[in-house]
């Protein structure tokens, strides 16, 4: 281990591994950053299981990790909603997803497999994980961070990304609040095989009852993941008298026989576990860090920044999105392609998405807990919206697939007038459109200019001089419609596949101004 690094990544879960993968993809030498984890070996735990289409697209940046995981997991395209003993509606996503992505499905795969695929990618690039080493303390000294590790070594790092989970030591040491709610009663989860006939098959089933929320979904090897919120009565005898920091009792393990009984009563099915892979006890938190950075050199990502119900399956997915976002920006700074000012856009972009996530999940939790006449009104309203309100299913599909994310702020500029309606700055450029141009998103490292209608090389030569922009000149007019272009246009696509800049004119000063204004320091020398 060296005494000085450009970056330290704390935590080797999916988020930390993705940050490291993005640094490696962007050409940061493996000797320039360090990834540590307190565990001596990776845990073979089910944990976060659901990958949404946009996350699989992002993981494909790392030599097809998303595709390989989709082949290892179970695929589903439907959510079934149950109330007490009946299914009251369902949402089918498949048809809409086929228009949006090459992954027209959601994928359930155990978290340890995601970690294994990312670790394999890193090892192939000479990146070694430092396991059995924890962060002991740190001080941000302005020009660098002084870090003490559990192995007794002290190191200096320029930047630190905390991917150390919901109980993040880094977040606590920084004094950043973790605002939100914690459900009063605990939950129980089980991953097992069973011969019992279950009501949702491999699709996601959400079950609302007077005792709490439950879900079940199919996993590889004919296994199921099932989780239940417990009522006070159900939890009695499986909590301690001692209270935690939230003023709630600590959770105790529940015997398998009792878990089986709870599942039978909650889902109104005969249930017997055949082979148990994993069981867990947990509390549902809907919490968001007050800040995603210390405004200088330290950044929070994954559960260190937000905590949400596993029934939504979005915690891991948001962590991957955050990792790619901070990863490419940090790489640009390390590689001297941008000034540190670029890093401020990470918190501006991603915390807003975290805020939307927590707000949405809290609303869903409140809806799930309705009783009496309010519960029946909810069921009727959901059935009506799903089946009769135009555009509702399509909108819910885009939200669930995380293809509707739209960034604003400093890195987003729609310049001048445009007839485009969806291919706009702030939104992702679908890999399906990349492929129509004969491009692979994984091959794109810096910004990429997609240019329509250029008659000479002056425009492209000026952009090439920046050193941060690659070129794609679109010659086939058949592609103009796909990109919502009439005559001329330029799109500057970020390394994470989101459009940073769009103009329906070839205005070189506007393009250069966008890059210069957004802290790409190399331009200041020109």
Q: Do 218 and 254 belong to one domain?
A: yes
Query: Which is it for strands 86-92 and 106-108: parallel, antiparallel or unpaired?
Result: unpaired
Strands 204-209 and 212-219: antiparallel
Q: Rounded to whole angstroms, how far apart are CA atoms 471 and 474?
A: 10
> In terms of C-beta density within 10 A (0-12 exposed, 13-18 middle, 19 or more buried), how is residue 278 classed?
middle
For the stretch 332-384, pLDDT in tens is 999 999 999 999 999 999 999 999 999 988 888 888 888 889 988 999 999 99
Q: What phi and psi values does residue 89 have, to the nearest 5 degrees? A: -170, 170
Burial class (CB within 10 angstroms; exposed 0-12, middle 13-18, buried 19+) of 488: middle
* Confidence at 470, pLDDT banded by 50, 70, 90: confident
CA 43, CA 59: separation in Å to the nearest integer?
21
Both tokens of 260, joined, read 């089986």
Q: At residue 526, does pLDDT exceed 50?
A: no
pLDDT of residue 520: 76
Is 131 found in the same domain as 256? no
Distance CA 316, CA 314 (A): 6
Query: Could you tell me the sign of the dihedral formed by the alpha carbons of 342, 345, 347, 350, in that order?
Result: negative
Confidence band for 267, pLDDT divided at 50, 70 and 90: confident
Q: Which of 218, 249, 283 delimits the end of a domain?
A: 283
Q: What is the CATH number of the domain that holds 441?
A: 3.40.30
Highest mean predicted confidence (pLDDT) among 39-48, 167-176, 394-403, 470-479: 167-176
The verdict on 425 and 511 lying in the same domain is yes
Do 433 and 491 fall within a single domain? Answer: yes
Give the model confidence (pLDDT) of 394-450 as tens digits.
Answer: 999 999 999 999 999 989 999 999 989 999 999 999 999 989 988 888 888 889 999
- Specify the pTM: 0.95
pLDDT for position 312: 60
Q: Give pLDDT tens digits for 90-136.
A: 999 999 999 999 999 999 999 999 999 999 999 999 999 999 999 99
Whether 93 maps to a domain, the answer reads no
Q: What is the band of 525 on the pLDDT scale with cuts at 50, 70, 90?
A: very low
Q: Give mean pLDDT, residues 219-247.
A: 92
Is 81 a residue whose pLDDT tops 50? yes
Q: What does pLDDT average to over the chain?
A: 92
Residue 496 belongs to a domain: yes
Among residues 283, 299, 330, which one ends one of the domains? 283
pLDDT of residue 311: 63
Q: How many domains does the chain have?
A: 3
**Pair 119, 17 in one domain:** yes
Structure tokens at 16: 């930390």
Contacts of 44 (CB under 8 A, 6+ apart): 112
Tell me the pLDDT tens digit for each residue of 141-154: 999 999 999 999 99
HSE-up (13 A, CA, CB side) for residue 92: 4
**Do 221 and 138 sit in the same domain of this protein?**
no
Asked if the structure places residue 79 within a domain, the reply is no
CA dihedral 100, 101, 104, 108 (to 10 degrees): -120
CATH code of 263's domain:
3.30.9.10
Instruction: Give the model's pLDDT for residue 504.
Output: 95
Give a three-class secondary structure readout of 249-303. Answer: EEECCCCHHHHHHHHHHHHCCCCCEEEEEEEEEECCEEEEECCCECCCCEEECHH
Q: Give the pLDDT score at 201.
A: 67
Q: Hey, CA dihedral for 366, 367, 370, 374, is it positive or negative?
A: positive
Same domain assignment for residues 307 and 161: yes
Which strand (E) or helix (H) includes residue 417? none
What is the pLDDT averaged over residues 10-29? Answer: 98
Q: CA-to-CA distance for 9 and 34, rounded, in angstroms? A: 6
Using CA atoms, how far apart are residues 524 and 457, in angstroms rounded to an integer? 23
User: In 3D, which of 172, 138, 168 has the Cα closest to residue 303?
Assistant: 168
Full residue range of the structural domain in which residue 513 is found? 413-525
Whether residue 287 is predicted with pLDDT greater than 80 in this model: the reply is yes
Helices marked H in 162-250 — which ranges? 169-174, 232-235
Res. 469: pLDDT tops 90: no
150: domain CATH number is 3.50.50.60
Q: What is the pLDDT of residue 208?
A: 87
Same domain, 145 and 192: no
Q: Are residues 174 and 143 in the same domain?
A: yes
Residue 521 is predicted with a pLDDT of 52
Based on the domain organization, do 54 and 193 belong to the same domain?
no
Q: Flag whether 385 is in a domain.
A: no
Give yes or no: residues 128 and 205 share one domain: no
Is residue 87, in this structure, part of any structural domain at all?
A: no
Q: Does pLDDT of 190 surpass 90? A: yes
User: Does 28 map to a domain?
Assistant: yes
* Residue whose structure tokens are 């109330």: 83
Using the 3D structure, point to which of 311, 336, 368 is the last residue of a domain: 368
* Number of Cβ atoms within 10 Å of the Cβ of 388: 8
Say if residue 313 is in the same domain as residue 263: no
> Is 205 contained in some domain?
yes
Is 384 inside any structural domain?
Answer: no
Angle at 356 between CA 355 and CA 359, to 5 degrees: 85
Count of CA atoms in the C-beta half-sphere (13 A) of 56: 25
| Pair 16, 111: CB distance under 8 Å | no
């Amino acid at each position: 281990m060296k005494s000085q690094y450009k970056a330290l990544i704390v935590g080797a879960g999916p988020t930390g591994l993705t940050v490291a993968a993005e640094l490696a993809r962007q050409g940061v030498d493996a000797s320039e950053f360090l990834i540590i984890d307190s565990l001596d070996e990776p845990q073979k735990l089910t944990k976060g299981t659901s990958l949404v289409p946009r996350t699989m697209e992002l993981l494909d940046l790392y030599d097809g990790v998303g595709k390989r995981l989709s082949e290892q997991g179970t695929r589903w395209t439907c959510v079934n909603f149950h109330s007490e003993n009946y299914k009251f509606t369902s949402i089918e996503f498949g048809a809409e997803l086929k228009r949006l992505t090459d992954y027209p499905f959601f994928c359930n795969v155990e978290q340890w497999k995601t970690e294994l695929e990312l670790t394999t990618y890193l090892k192939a690039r000479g990146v070694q994980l430092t396991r059995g080493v924890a962060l002991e303390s740190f001080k941000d000294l302005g020009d660098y961070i002084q870090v003490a590790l559990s192995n007794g070594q002290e190191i200096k790092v320029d930047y630190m990304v905390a991917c150390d989970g919901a109980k993040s030591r880094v977040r606590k040491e920084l004094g950043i609040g973790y605002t939100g709610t914690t459900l009063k009663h605990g939950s129980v989860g089980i991953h097992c095989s069973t011969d019992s006939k279950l009501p949702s098959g491999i699709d996601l089933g959400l079950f609302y009852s007077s005792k709490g929320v439950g879900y079940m979904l199919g996993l590889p090897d004919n296994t199921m993941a099932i989780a239940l919120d417990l009522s006070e009565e159900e939890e009695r005898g499986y909590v301690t008298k001692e209270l935690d920091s939230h003023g709630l009792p600590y959770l105790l393990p529940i015997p398998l026989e009792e878990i089986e009984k709870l599942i039978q009563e909650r889902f109104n099915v005969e249930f017997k576990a055949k082979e148990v892979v994993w069981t867990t006890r947990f509390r549902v938190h809907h919490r968001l860090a007050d800040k995603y950075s210390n405004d200088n050199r330290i950044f929070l990502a994954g559960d260190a920044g937000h905590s949400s119900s596993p029934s939504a399956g979005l915690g891991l997915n948001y962590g991957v999105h955050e990792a790619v976002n901070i990863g490419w920006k940090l790489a640009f700074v390390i590689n001297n392609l941008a000034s540190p000012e670029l890093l401020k856009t990470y918190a501006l972009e991603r915390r807003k998405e975290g805020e939307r996530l927590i707000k949405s999940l809290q609303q869903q939790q409140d809806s799930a807990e309705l009783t009496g006449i309010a519960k029946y009104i909810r069921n009727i309203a959901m059935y009506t919206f799903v089946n009769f309100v135009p555009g509702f299913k399509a909108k819910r599909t885009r939200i669930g697939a995380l293809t509707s994310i739209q960034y604003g702020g400093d890195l987003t500029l729609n310049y001048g007038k445009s007839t485009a309606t969806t291919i706009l700055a702030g939104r992702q450029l679908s890999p399906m459109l990349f492929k129509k141009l004969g491009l692979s998103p994984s091959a794109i490292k810096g910004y990429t200019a997609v240019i329509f209608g250029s008659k000479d090389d002056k425009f492209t030569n000026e952009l090439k001089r920046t050193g941060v922009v690659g070129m794609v000149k679109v010659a086939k007019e058949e592609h103009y419609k796909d990109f919502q272009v009439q005559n001329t246009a330029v799109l500057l696509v970020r390394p994470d596949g989101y459009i940073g800049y769009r103009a329906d004119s070839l205005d070189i000063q506007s393009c250069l101004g966008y890059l210069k204004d957004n802290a790409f320091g190399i331009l200041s020398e020109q």
